[in-house]
Amino acid sequence: MKRLVGMLLCLCLVGATSAPPAQDDAALTAFRSGRYDEAIAVWQAALDGGSATVAQVRTLLQALRATGRSDRAAAAARAVSEGGNAVAIANRWGELFYERGQIEAARARFQLAVDEGASDALVAELNLAVLEFESGDRESATRRFNRFVDVYNSSGTLNAEELVAVGVACSYLGRENPSLFHDAVRAFEEAIAADPESSEPRLRLAELFLTKYDGAEAGVLIEEVLRLNPSHAGAHLAEARRLHFNGSSEAMARVDRALELNPELVPARVLRARLLLAAESQAAAEAEMDRALKSNPDSLEVLTLKAALHFLRGEQRSFDDAAARALSRDPNYGQLFAVVAELAVQNRFYAQAVDLARRATEIDPSLWAAHGTLGINLMRIGRIDEARASLERAFQGDPFNVWIKNTLDLLDTFPDYRIVETDRFRLMIGHERADLMSLYMGPLAEEAYEALSAKYGYRSEEPVRIEVYDRHADFSVRTLGLAGLGALGVAFGPVVAVDAPLTPGMGLFNWGSTLWHEIAHVVTLGVTDFRVPRWLTEGLSVYEERRAREAWGDDATPGFLLALLRGQLLPVSRINEGFARPRYPEHLGHSYLQASLVCELIEEDWGFDAILALLDAYRDGRTGAEAIRVGLGIEPEELDVRFDEYLRARYAGPLRGLEAAAKRPPAQGRQGTDSADLKALADADSTDFIAHLSAGAALARQGSDEAIEYLERAKRLFPGYAGPDSAYVHLAKILEARGDVAAAAAELRMLLSLNESLLPAYLKSAELLEQLGRTSEAADFLQRSMFIDPWDISRHQRLAQLRENLEQWSGAVRERAAVVALGPVDRASALYRLAYAHDRHGDTRAARRAVIAALEIAPGYRDAQELLLAIRARQGT
Amino acid sequence: MRGAVPAAVVIAAGLWPAAATAQETWLLVVSGVGGNASYRQTFVDRSIQLLEAAQERFGIPASHITYLAERIELADGRAAARSTREEVDAAITDIAARCNPGDQVLIVLIGHGSTQGEGGRFALPGPDMGPADFAPLLGRLSQQRVGFVNTASASGGFLALAGPGRVVVTATRAGQREEPLFGQFFVEAFSAEGADTDKDQGVSLLESFVYARTEVARAYDLEGTLRTENALLDDDGDGKGTETPEASDGDGALARRFVLGGVYGSARLAGVADDAELRSMLEKRGEHQAAFDHLRAAKAELAEDDYLTQLEELLVQIAELDTAIRARNEAAQ
């Protein structure tokens, strides 16, 4: 109290005198460079001593707010105001009230500054407009924003702060008139020119670029701000947003830095909570929201996230209450539903996202992003025509949105595809690929669906749509709205998108296992009403790949086991972070494998019913910890321990073989090092897998017989390793060169029991087996090669011939049909061979159809004529 | 294809009444300058591959085949002379003197091309030849059907030789200077299985063009490289050429009827004129063929079921008749 009195006395002098100029310059420099405490000390002293100017007090309040000391700032503002300077301080005090959710108090202060013509009245007018806009009075707000355009046009002497106000006003007006965003940019750029040392205009411009999806431009400006002021919490927050925009896992660290600098920065808490929700860490997100509410109990953004949390937990009544509360604060606040829709998408609730986004657009038709969310998610649930209308509306309102533009461009390519229907699927395949792919993909999809739906007790009410993209960029846009996605397939529920086999740029991959994986998602998402966590649905998809075909589904690699040895793998209780925020480049891939191994452990120790119980628990809305308790009857921490033990026991041998490598610098013991050094390394440690494999490979390249010894040892140390540089590959080459075809074939057999996508090995294996007269096995390997590359017509012809030689007429029919589908030059022959295979398979009707098609091309084709006459003779026609 | 065709009669599509008339095929193959040993040998090998197919598979008599090579000593005794401009002139003059009106003459250039001069050049020992040099030579074959195939790079300018009764094929557009793959597959169309898509036991210029075009595209796809050659065919005489000729009309119609082997193979027509019943059967077969062509042309206007019903009935009639013709012919052997 004594201090307050002193202040009151002193404040009577505010404006009459000031701190010494040199000291004030130094304080301002300290403030602008982020040495806030230094600046605060000078101005607080000036304030306490009664010598502070209006500008100093205003900046002191900014400094206190920037460092999360709003109570102190409020006290200072109150004191100054009560000291007779209410008008001078009104706008800044209003900002403080507004940040703390005291809307009416803020409104009164802004209005006072405007009415009384305070020197920062223009900024107060902007604040008032923003307040009105965000409280639902859009009409009045728009009138005020429009005034800024007039002010800009009629005044040639605006200072940086006022130019920033003009820029902000134009940004708001840009929602209805996108061309005004360009004016906003110009105003911010002029503000930067007017005060080059100020962070504010740069940051505002960066934020505008972020809202217009230009992360690169934003990044340059944020970097400039942080160079001026490394302690600018708002700049760190903007950088976090930019990183999040770019899909970087480093966003969270930046948010944390922002909150370290300003613990009261509510937007940072909001972003942190959103990142946690996206990572399915609901409890941590809720705690973050509660912390934010302490700073601003009336924050619409936080109320929105609270509502989202209720939604994600299936608490409909609480969600409705939260939504009603937000709408009572701002009846136009459709943004709540837009944000919940986005979070619903991140948690794979696509159908609900459609409803939410639609409601958002009904409340606020100018929420262009929500129109986009609506359109993209209508596509994800297969309602393509409706999607286009929403996307076009979104793009009309926000022509800067590259996601929407890309998606509309993608829709323009849909006429290049056609729909092939099977019992339960609608396959969308490029015209040129459809005939062939439907031969393989249709039956495999049906098989997967039949197996998985029976196992998990789920059947989709509608046909599952599978979109097979010719270009990876299109697949990526379908999934993310942008090119550059590393995945091969995605499931949105009953809509699946995958890359076509041998899509340029994606290397060799097994499209069969990819499809099986995605159909497993369809089932696990469906059976849990989309509540299955990411780790479990991914884990089960890989687990089911392994059960579908030999060699399908990834297994442990040296990289995975080294990550285990180095402690990089997360415990099961935090495994979702490996999907949401991978910590190292291979972390995402390792998380898939790790999750699948958790499923293996559960099946081995508890039985498959425990997996079903786990899924049931998630479907019923249980949290991760509760689901583990209900499904497995243990605490999550116990599962962490058991899984770690399981991994170390399952891979005990290979782990021993990798211990030496784990301790070495990464470059040592790799291919490319001198073979003598590698031999020495291997000879020094008979348990060193990497050294033995590398030495064996180096010796094999030199044609040395010694290679075999090292490669055999490498195989014994880690028999499950089947990469393209594995011991099996080198041994097969050596043995074939020696003429031991059977032994070479045996090595390849082992390799291909573990690896699903080594096309050259499949082809070589088939070739060797044919040489050995093991036609049936050769045919099987050729058949499996089609899951990697089905486009080689000569391979289909070869496989068809093998099937015919083996009198396997069902397989022969498929391969002959494949030849026809690939558009051979000699189509008449291909159709005749197909007709012949059909006939031998006993399908006379199909044979007749095919042979007539052959004769339609070549009516004098003797073989086909004879077959047609024979069929008709048998049928008595 | 069911092996060689020893029978005197071949069942084929189209123009059955004309089958009774003797139409001869003449072939001139010119392999140009190789530039190095590898290309030199490749061009000779490719030429011989075509010569062997013409003679052994399609029954063109040796007296109707002329081969000019850059180096006679590399040509396995098959070259009549060096492939100089003078010898090309002489060879075409000789064919023009010996052939009859209505015969078909196929000229195939195998070698390198260049973009020099108007319309490009085909590289020969001594002066090269461009379209303007070939034009007067082809003028001597105005009573014959002429197939002119330039398999060299930068050959598109040779479309200037287009005219009535001529099928002109170039491996590339004008200006495409990369060594094309087209020639390899064009020759393969005659020497290997797969190009005879209508199963008439002959290979037409249209079939060989489509085969080569398809295999070229496949080769580039397998290599994962962008295609640097676009073969063209012109047979409607406008000199524009097309990459996608059609058998029905426009470019492609004449090429479809320019067949090596098949019904036009003169060696296979022996005996037809002496057997009245066989002639009658062949005439009937011609009527069926005409009905078949008519039905196919009307396909778009017919309901699918109607079309298929009529098609099957017609195909059965053709098959039964062909079986009878073959039986009669085999009995006569």
HEC string for A403-468: HHHHHHHHHHCHHHEEEEECCCEEEEEEHHHHHHHHHHHHHHHHHHHHHHHHHHCCCCCCCEEEEE
| Residues of chain B positioned with their CB less than 8 A from the CB of A869 | 316, 319-320, 323
Going from the C-alpha of B293 to that of each of A852, B288, B297, the distances in angstroms are 15, 9, 6
* Contact between chains at B224 and A825 (C-beta distance less than 8 A): no
CA distance A470 to chain B (A): 14
Tell which residue, A179, A170, A248, A182, has the closest CA to residue A215. Answer: A248
User: In this complex, which of B13, B193, B308 lies closest to A860 when CB atoms are compared?
Assistant: B13
Looking at the DSSP bridge assignments, the partners of residue A467 are: A428, A497
The answer on pLDDT for B23 being more than 80 is no
The answer on pLDDT for B22 being more than 70 is no
The answer on pLDDT for A483 being more than 80 is no
Mean pLDDT, residues A29-40 taken together? 94
* Contact between chains at B322 and A866 (C-beta distance less than 8 A): no
* Contact between chains at A855 and B319 (C-beta distance less than 8 A): yes
| Residues of chain A positioned with their CB less than 8 A from the CB of B214 | 823, 825
In angstroms, the CA A492 to CA A377 distance is 9
Using an 8 Å CB-CB cutoff, list residues of chain A that contact chain B.
504, 793, 823-829, 852, 855-866, 868-869, 872
Length of chain B counted residue by residue: 333
- Answer for the pair A212, A181: CB distance below 8 angstroms, yes or no: yes
Buried b / exposed e across A590-614, counting CB within 10 Å, b at 16+?
bbbbbbbbbbbbbeeebeeebbebb
pLDDT band at A485 (very low <50, low <70, confident <90, very high): low
In angstroms, the CA A875 to CA A855 distance is 19
The answer on pLDDT for B277 being more than 90 is no
Q: Who has greater pLDDT, B178 or A107?
A: A107
User: In this complex, which of B314, B316, B318 lies closest to A872 when CB atoms are compared?
Assistant: B316
Q: Establish if B195 touches chain A: CB-CB under 8 angstroms.
A: yes
- Answer for the pair A324, A332: CB distance below 8 angstroms, yes or no: no
* Contact between chains at B311 and A824 (C-beta distance less than 8 A): no
Classified as helix, coil or strand, B30 is strand
* Contact between chains at B194 and A825 (C-beta distance less than 8 A): yes
Buried b / exposed e across A111-121, counting CB within 10 Å, b at 16+?
bbbbeeebebb
| Distance from the first to the final alpha carbon of chain A | 114
The values of phi and psi at residue B330, to 5°, are: -65, -35
Mean pLDDT, residues A673-688 taken together? 89
* Contact between chains at A859 and B193 (C-beta distance less than 8 A): no
Going from the C-alpha of A367 to that of each of A136, A323, A401, B275, the distances in angstroms are 14, 17, 12, 87
Mean pLDDT, residues A853-872 taken together? 95
In angstroms, the CA A539 to CA A596 distance is 4
pLDDT band at A83 (very low <50, low <70, confident <90, very high): confident
CB proximity list for B284: less than 8 A, separation 6 or greater: B321
Q: Which of residues 8-27 of B touch A (CB under 8 A)?
A: 11-13
The answer on pLDDT for B264 being more than 60 is no
- Answer for the pair A782, A795: CB distance below 8 angstroms, yes or no: yes
Other Cβ atoms closer than 10 A to B9: 25
Average per-residue pLDDT for chain B: 87
Name the closest residue on chain A to residue B200, using Cα atoms.
A860
For every residue of B191-228, DSSP letters joined together read HSTT--TT-SSEEEHHHHHHHHHHHHHHHHHHHT----
What angle (nearest 5°) sits at the alpha carbon of residue A65, between those of residues A61 and A66? 115
The answer on pLDDT for A534 being more than 70 is yes
State yes or no: ipTM above 0.85. Answer: no
Q: Is the dihedral of CA A40, A43, A46, A47 positive or negative?
A: negative
The values of phi and psi at residue A277, to 5°, are: -65, -40
Tokens linked to B124: 């020969």
Classified as helix, coil or strand, B235 is coil
Specify the residue for token string 């596509």.
Answer: A379
Chain A interface test: which of B185, B196, B197, B220 (most A C-beta within 10 Å) = B197
Position A670 scores a pLDDT of: 53
Q: Establish if B292 touches chain A: CB-CB under 8 angstroms.
A: yes
Position B271 scores a pLDDT of: 57
Position A667 scores a pLDDT of: 57
Identity of residue A815: E
Tell which residue, B174, B50, B35, has the closest CA to residue B107. Answer: B50
CB proximity list for B305: less than 8 A, separation 6 or greater: none
Other Cβ atoms closer than 10 A to A186: 15
The answer on pLDDT for A68 being more than 90 is yes
* Contact between chains at A852 and B197 (C-beta distance less than 8 A): no
pLDDT band at A347 (very low <50, low <70, confident <90, very high): confident
User: In this complex, which of B2, B13, B326 lies closest to A863 when CB atoms are compared?
Assistant: B2
Residue A801: is it exposed, middle or buried by C-beta count within 10 angstroms (0-12/13-18/19+)?
Answer: middle
* Contact between chains at A864 and B196 (C-beta distance less than 8 A): no
CA distance A697 to chain B (A): 28
Chain B interface test: which of A797, A820, A849, A862 (most B C-beta within 10 Å) = A862
Q: What is the 3-state secondary structure (H, E, C) of A184-226?
A: HHHHHHHHHHHCCCCHHHHHHHHHHHHHCCCHHHHHHHHHHHH
Identity of residue B205: L
Looking at the DSSP bridge assignments, the partners of residue A427 are: A420, A466
- Answer for the pair A185, A205: CB distance below 8 angstroms, yes or no: yes
- Answer for the pair A867, A831: CB distance below 8 angstroms, yes or no: no
**Alpha carbon A351 to chain centroid, angstroms:** 18
In angstroms, the CA A630 to CA A612 distance is 11
Length of chain A counted residue by residue: 877
In angstroms, the CA A17 to CA A11 distance is 11
| Residues of chain B positioned with their CB less than 8 A from the CB of A868 | 312, 315-316, 319
| Residues of chain B positioned with their CB less than 8 A from the CB of A858 | 13, 197-200
Specify the residue for token string 């557009």.
Answer: B173
Looking at the DSSP bridge assignments, the partners of residue B233 are: B169, B242
What angle (nearest 5°) sits at the alpha carbon of residue A242, between those of residues A237 and A245? 125
Position B13 scores a pLDDT of: 38
CA distance A860 to chain B (A): 6
In angstroms, the CA B85 to CA B128 distance is 7
In angstroms, the CA A131 to CA A619 distance is 41
The answer on pLDDT for B269 being more than 60 is no
For every residue of B54-119, DSSP letters joined together read IIIIT---GGGEEEEES-GGGTTT--SEE--HHHHHHHHHHHHHHPPTT-EEEEEEES-EE--STT
Classified as helix, coil or strand, A233 is helix
CB proximity list for A580: less than 8 A, separation 6 or greater: A249, A275, A278, A279, A280, A534
The answer on pLDDT for B17 being more than 60 is no
Tell which residue, A404, A415, A409, A414, has the closest CA to residue A377. Answer: A404
Position A312 scores a pLDDT of: 87
Position B20 scores a pLDDT of: 40
In angstroms, the CA A521 to CA B176 distance is 50
Tell which residue, A654, A661, A712, has the closest CA to residue A690. Answer: A661
* Contact between chains at B296 and A856 (C-beta distance less than 8 A): yes
pLDDT band at B216 (very low <50, low <70, confident <90, very high): very high
User: In this complex, which of B197, B218, B311 lies closest to A828 when CB atoms are compared?
Assistant: B197
User: In this complex, which of B193, B199, B320 lies closest to A860 when CB atoms are compared?
Assistant: B199
CB proximity list for A875: less than 8 A, separation 6 or greater: A844
* Contact between chains at B308 and A827 (C-beta distance less than 8 A): no
Looking at the DSSP bridge assignments, the partners of residue A673 are: A671
| Residues of chain A above pLDDT 70, percent | 96
Position A1 scores a pLDDT of: 30
pLDDT band at B265 (very low <50, low <70, confident <90, very high): very low
Average per-residue pLDDT for chain A: 91
User: In this complex, which of A823, A829, A855 lies closest to B315 when CB atoms are compared?
Assistant: A855
In angstroms, the CA A321 to CA A326 distance is 9
The answer on pLDDT for B231 being more than 80 is yes
| Residues of chain B positioned with their CB less than 8 A from the CB of A862 | 2, 11, 199, 322, 326
Position A12 scores a pLDDT of: 37
- Answer for the pair A582, A249: CB distance below 8 angstroms, yes or no: yes
* Contact between chains at B224 and A504 (C-beta distance less than 8 A): yes
* Beta strands at A417-421 and A425-430: parallel, antiparallel or unpaired: antiparallel
| Residues of chain B above pLDDT 90, percent | 69
| Residues of chain B positioned with their CB less than 8 A from the CB of A861 | 198-199
In angstroms, the CA B207 to CA B197 distance is 7
* Contact between chains at A858 and B215 (C-beta distance less than 8 A): no
Name the closest residue on chain B to residue A873, using Cα atoms.
B316
In angstroms, the CA B139 to CA A600 distance is 81
* Contact between chains at B319 and A863 (C-beta distance less than 8 A): no
How many residue contacts between A and B have a Cβ separation below 8 Å? 80
Position A455 scores a pLDDT of: 97
Position B19 scores a pLDDT of: 43
